[in-house]
Chain A
Amino acid sequence: MPQIPAVPLSWYLLLSAVLFALGVAGFLYRKSIITVFISIELMLNAVNLSFVAFSYHLHRIDGHIFSFFVMVVAAAEAAVGFAIILTIFKNRRTLQIDEIDSMKL
């Protein structure tokens, strides 16, 4: 079997960092709750990517297992999150994040 030159670990980590930064930026600057929510998923998956990359690089299984945990949590979070979003929309008729600030003192 011919040896395919392996993609170096740093590339994966760089991609992961870029995805994470995009997620952070989206979380901070987008105005719609849905987009903010997608940004959170993006951050989670960026972390997942670095987990898997490390796991492959170090020949250890821990990172794989952890990434499954993250997926399960993300799925659960999505279910709860969308329920909250639906309720907010029903009550407020808006999904603009700046208009929802009733948690002020």
Chain B
Amino acid sequence: MNLWLIPFFPLLGFLLNGLFGKRLPRAAINAIGVGSVALSFVYVVFVLSKLYPLHPAYSEHYFTWIQSGFLHIGFDLFVDRLTAVMLLVVTGIGLLIHIYAVGYMAHEGGYYRFFSYFNLFVFFMLILVLASNLLVMFVGWEGVGLCSYLLIGFYFLEGFAGNAANKAFIVNRIGDFGFSLGIFLTVLVFKTLDFGKLATAVSGMPVEASAGALTAITLLLFVGAIGKSAQFPLYVWLPDAMAGPTPVSALIHAATMVTAGVYMVTRVSFLYNHAPLAMSIVAFIGLFTAVLAATIGITQNDIKRVFAYSTVSQLGYMFLGLGVGAYSAGIFHLMTHAFFKALLFLGAGSVIHGLSGEQDLRHMGGLWKRMPVTFITLGVASLAISGFPGFSGFFSKDAILSAAYAHTPWMFWVGSITAGMTAFYVFRAYFLAFFGSYRGHHHAHESPPVMTIPLIVLAAFSLLGGLINVPHWLSPAFPLAEHENVTAMAISVTCGILGIALAAYLYVIRPALAESLKTSAGSLYTLVANKYYVDELYSGLIVRPLETISRSVLWRGVDEALIDNSFVDGLFGRTIRNWGALLRHLQSGSVRNYATWVLAGALLMIFIFSFSGGGR
């Protein structure tokens, strides 16, 4: 079936635009950038229709990558039902966002650079998704991290973009360190990295009652997921990643790359099933992150930051789902979240584009009549993320919360309250942007069709995506659990609607009340608005001490005092320098001089050989 063609098209697009883009006209860059992803999408649909019903999985072996002792790692790609969901999400939403980017990036410099990076990202993401062993997945994993770095720092002339890119890259390094340790430990324990062989090997092992090798592997892999999917305590990079262009935020930092951790955990779910302790930790970290990010989201004033914290929070939901064993619910939420969060970001991008770069909610307002399409589509996305009945988010969030209720009731309660907060802060942003009176000074205008059509398509999916029954589709691999719970559903929906109502009351009906609440909350508000000072804490505990040690010990001590003073300028260095000064005279530049030395050398050798008995 030539699975390799799926990632090949974006790679080709990256090479063409990256190498020749500077000299190509815009139309050609668009055709290559968007066309490559479109081809990939069409080919994915073709492959999936051919391979239907995709059970058992279909795999292809291309070449042996590493062969060393017992370790045999092939460059293999494979497709099963889980991969199919991811492939459609990555190429489908990727295509829509590429189309949108044609409009959004129209006035930006480095146009070809943007599209070549964007295609490279899709390539690595597809490798990550198609990989049939952990190492090939790691290649894609690192690749998307690189593209994320390049695209966050796209406006590299502005200092904060470069800093944000560095922050994302370095924080991800911590997670990837855990991931690579997890891979090493897997090799040590199982002697293979292939998902199929791992699943067979682990099925013969007992479920670990206490912490053992499997718990260690799964937790190390989860550290990787924490970094990539922005969970506590490594979530700090994602809000800053909003320094990149908005299509990047939508595709990489909302819909696809940040969900790689969720995908990876689901891919090795057979390991997690044998390590209940690790699963509880996954669930707990997910839930904690969901609550933490939701509270921060309430206080942010930058529209993209509100949605960034919302992404962190929703990813926490997905991990909650995985942690309570509802893998298919987690993947379901991954998909619906990709629809509505991409839409939220693209809608925010449309607002920002229409306001010539304004991102502050305090300078928006009353935009509904100036941007009707954005207004309606963003409304759909906001209802979807709030879990409003009938919208896509309702189904997936309900699946997760029902599973949580069956597993640990208190997690369900916290999750439901978080759902209420989610609804509140998303609608706070929505009402601040579109209702009331206009508080800005730019001339607001609706975006061109190339941007609004992807919005409309995504809105359709956000509305109807819940009807795609992902848990049923995944049921061969992840058995359906019977915990449809009407009470739980009613409670979470009520929380969501209460959140929307509260937002409407505070930001549409009585706007003055929100301000007075803010002042009466006082120090609590300051604490949350400053993101619990986590960035400052990290800076004080890790960054500053490292800088101090580097400066005083490594630079002043080791480099200057030890190497420079005692070695380079000491006896050792001086001896070498003096000899060098002497020998330097040998290099005269005259060819005949050199030839004389060659002759002298040859004569010396003849002399030595003839006196040492002819060299025998």
Could you list which residues of chain A lie within 8 angstroms of chain B, going by C-beta atoms?
24, 27-29, 36, 97-98, 100-105
- A27-B592, A100-B591, A104-B588 known; 12 new pairs, CB 8 Å cut-off, are A24-B599, A27-B595, A28-B592, A97-B590, A98-B590, A101-B589, A102-B589, A103-B587, A103-B589, A104-B587, A104-B589, A105-B587
Query: What's the least CB distance linking B333 to chain A, in Å?
Result: 69
- CB within 8 Å of A: which B560-599 residues: 584, 587-592, 595-596, 599
Number of B residues near A (Cβ < 8 Å) is 10
Choose one: A24, A27, A36, A101; the contact of B590 (CB below 8 Å): A101
Which B residues are CB-close (under 8 A) to A29?
592
- From B594, which residue of chain A is reached at the shortest CB distance? A103
- CB within 8 Å of A: which B43-93 residues: none
- From A27, which residue of chain B is reached at the shortest CB distance? B595
The number of residue pairs between A and B whose CB atoms lie closer than 8 Å in the complex comes to 28
Complex alpha-carbon distance, A101 and B584, angstroms:
15
Which B residues are CB-close (under 8 A) to A97?
590-592
Across the interface, do B592 and A98 meet the contact criterion of CB distance under 8 Å? yes
- From A97, which residue of chain B is reached at the shortest CB distance? B591
- From A105, which residue of chain B is reached at the shortest CB distance? B587
Complex alpha-carbon distance, A102 and B590, angstroms:
8
Complex alpha-carbon distance, A98 and B588, angstroms:
11
Query: What's the least CB distance linking B310 to chain A, in Å?
Result: 64
- From B588, which residue of chain A is reached at the shortest CB distance? A104
Across the interface, do B588 and A101 meet the contact criterion of CB distance under 8 Å? yes
Complex alpha-carbon distance, A20 and B453, angstroms:
85
Which A residues are CB-close (under 8 A) to B591?
36, 97, 100-101
- From B591, which residue of chain A is reached at the shortest CB distance? A97
Which A residues are CB-close (under 8 A) to B587?
103-105
Which A residues are CB-close (under 8 A) to B599?
24, 28
Across the interface, do B588 and A28 meet the contact criterion of CB distance under 8 Å? no
Complex alpha-carbon distance, A97 and B591, angstroms:
7
Query: What's the least CB distance linking B596 to chain A, in Å?
Result: 6
Complex alpha-carbon distance, A105 and B591, angstroms:
14
Complex alpha-carbon distance, A98 and B590, angstroms:
6
- From B599, which residue of chain A is reached at the shortest CB distance? A24
Q: List 12 A-B contacts (CB under 8 A).
A: A24-B599, A27-B595, A28-B595, A29-B592, A97-B592, A98-B590, A100-B591, A101-B589, A102-B589, A103-B589, A105-B584, A105-B587
- From A29, which residue of chain B is reached at the shortest CB distance? B592
- From B593, which residue of chain A is reached at the shortest CB distance? A101
- From A100, which residue of chain B is reached at the shortest CB distance? B591
Query: What's the least CB distance linking B102 to chain A, in Å?
Result: 51
- From A40, which residue of chain B is reached at the shortest CB distance? B595
Which A residues are CB-close (under 8 A) to B589?
101-105
Complex alpha-carbon distance, A30 and B599, angstroms:
16
Which A residues are CB-close (under 8 A) to B584?
105
